[in-house]
Chain A
Amino acid sequence: MIKSPLGSRISRIDAADKVTGKTKFLTDMSVPGMVYAYPIYSSIPFGHITDINSAAAESLTGFIGFYTHKDIPGKNQVGVILPDQPLLVEKTVRFMGDVIGVVVADTHENARKAASLIDISYETLEPVFTIEDSKNSSGPLLHETNIACSHRVIKGDISKGFETSHHIIEASFTTPVQEHYYLEPQGCIVIPGEDQIYIIGSLQCPYYIQKAVAAITAYAMENIIVEQAPTGGAFGGKEDVPSEVCARTALAALMVKRPVKMVYDRKDDMQITSKRHPFQMHYKIGVSNSGEILAAEVRLEENAGAYATLSSVVSYRASIQGLGPYRIPNVKMESTSYYTNLPPNGAFRGFGSPQAAFGHERMMDIVANKLGMDPIEFRLINIIRSGDSTITGQELVTSVSAEETIVQARDAAYWTDIRSKSTPDSRYITGMGIAVTHYGNCLGAAGWHMDGSGASVRIREDGQIDVAFGLVEMGQGALTAVAQMTAEALGVDISRINVLPTRSDRLPDSGPSVASRNVVMTGRAIQDAVSKLTPPILKAASDMMDFPTGLLELKNDQIIDGQTGNSISFDDVLQYMFTHNIPTQSEGWWHVPPLKFDPQTGLGEAYFTYSYATHLAKVRVDTVTGLVFVDKIWAAHDVGKAINPAGIEGQVEGGIAQGIGWALTENFRYDQGKVITPGLTTYLLPTAGDIPEIKTIIIENPAPDGPWGAKGIGEPSIIPTAAAIANAVSHALGAPINDLPITPENVLNLIQRKAP
Chain B
Amino acid sequence: MGKPLPQYMIDIKKLSGMIGIQISGTEVRIGALTSVEDIRNNQILKRHFASLTQAAEQFAGVQIRHRATIGGNICNASPAGDLLPGLYAADAELTILSKGGYRRQSIREFIIGPGKTTLKPGELLYNIHLPITGRNSKFYKLGLRQSMAISVVNLAISWESSSAGAFHFSLTSGSVAPTVVYLKHFADAVNSSPRDLDTFLPLIDKDISPITDIRATSDYRRKVLKNIVRHELKTILEAPVV
Contacts and interface: CB of A to CB of B under 8 A. Distances in A.
B145 A690 contact: yes
Given A687-B147, A744-B220, A748-B220, A682 B214 contact: yes
Nearest to A680: B148
B145 A624 contact: no
A686 B227 CA distance: 25
Interface in B1-39: 1
Contacts of A427: 231
Nearest to B148: A687
Interface in A415-430: 427
A748 B220 CA distance: 9
A208 to B, nearest CB: 33
Contacts of A688: 147
Contact of B144 (A669, A684, A689, A748): A684
B214 A748 contact: no
Contacts of A745: 216-217, 219-220
B145 A625 contact: no
A337 interface: no
A116 B142 CA distance: 38
A681 interface: yes
Contacts of B103: none
Nearest to B220: A745
A655 interface: no
B223 interface: yes
A687 B220 contact: no
B224 A626 contact: yes
A684 B149 contact: yes
Contacts of B223: 748, 752
B234 to A, nearest CB: 10
Contacts of A480: none
A625 B149 CA distance: 15
Contacts of A335: none
Interface in A659-678: 665, 669, 676-677
Contact of A681 (B1, B150, B224): B150
Given A677-B214, A745-B216, A625 B228 contact: yes
Interface in A396-438: 427
Nearest to B152: A744
Interface string A496-508: 0000000000000
Would you call the interface of chain A mostly helix, strand, loop, or mixed?
Answer: loop
B146 interface: yes
B228 A624 contact: yes
A519 B220 CA distance: 47
B146 A689 contact: yes
B197 to A, nearest CB: 14
Contacts of A627: 142, 144
B61 interface: yes
A116 B144 CA distance: 33
Contacts of B149: 684
Interface residues of A, number: 23
B138 to A, nearest CB: 15
Contacts of A744: 144, 216, 220, 224
Nearest to A626: B224
Given A625-B224, A676-B214, A744-B220, A687 B146 contact: yes
Contacts of B228: 624-625
A748 B226 CA distance: 12
Contact of B227 (A625, A669, A681, A689): A625
- Please classify how large the interface on chain B is, using the bins under 10, 10 to 19, 20 to 34, 35 or more: 20 to 34
B227 A687 contact: no
B130 to A, nearest CB: 29
Nearest to A745: B220
Contacts of A748: 220, 223-224, 227
A684 B145 contact: yes
B145 A689 contact: yes
B145 A686 contact: yes
A624 B214 CA distance: 21
Nearest to A660: B145
Contacts of A680: 148
Nearest to B227: A624
Given A624-B227, A625-B228, A665 B216 contact: no
A626 B152 CA distance: 13
Nearest to A661: B145
Interface string A675-716: 011001110101111100000000000000000000000000
A665 B149 CA distance: 11
Contacts of A626: 224
A676 B147 CA distance: 21
A665 B142 contact: no
Nearest to A689: B146
A392 to B, nearest CB: 40
Interface string B55-66: 000000100000
A333 to B, nearest CB: 36
Contact of A625 (B1, B142, B214): B142
Residue among A625, A627, A682, A752 with most chain B CB within 10 A: A625
A29 B150 CA distance: 35
Contacts of B147: 687-689
Residue among B145, B149, B217, B220 with most chain A CB within 10 A: B145
Contact of A687 (B145, B214, B219, B231): B145
B145 A665 contact: yes
Contacts of A665: 144-145
Given A687-B146, A687-B148, A744-B144, A669 B214 contact: yes
Contacts of B231: 427, 624
Contacts of B1: 116
Contacts of A687: 61, 145-148
Interface string A715-756: 000000000000000000000000000001100100010000
Nearest to B217: A745
Contacts of A677: 214
A405 to B, nearest CB: 29
A401 to B, nearest CB: 34
B215 to A, nearest CB: 8
Interface in B94-145: 142, 144-145
A147 B144 CA distance: 36
Contacts of B219: 745
Contacts of A690: 145-146
Contacts of B220: 744-745, 748
A625 B146 CA distance: 14
A748 B216 CA distance: 12
A388 B223 CA distance: 51
Nearest to B153: A625
Nearest to A752: B223
B236 to A, nearest CB: 15
Interface in A198-230: none
Nearest to B215: A682
A682 B152 CA distance: 12
Contacts of B150: 681
A745 B144 CA distance: 11
Interface string A587-630: 00000000000000000000000000000000000001111000
A570 B228 CA distance: 71
A106 to B, nearest CB: 18
Given A627-B144, A687-B61, A748-B224, 11 more contacts: A624-B231, A625-B142, A665-B144, A665-B145, A682-B214, A684-B144, A686-B146, A687-B146, A687-B147, A689-B146, A748-B227
Interface of A: 116, 427, 624-627, 665, 669, 676-677, 680-682, 684, 686-690, 744-745, 748, 752
22 contacts: A624-B227, A625-B142, A625-B227, A626-B224, A627-B142, A665-B145, A680-B148, A681-B150, A682-B215, A687-B148, A688-B147, A689-B146, A689-B147, A690-B145, A744-B144, A744-B220, A745-B219, A745-B220, A748-B220, A748-B223, A748-B224, A748-B227
A-B pairs, top 5 by smallest CB distance, nearest first, are: A689-B146, A745-B220, A624-B227, A689-B147, A624-B231
Interface of B: 1, 61, 142, 144-150, 214-217, 219-220, 223-224, 227-228, 231
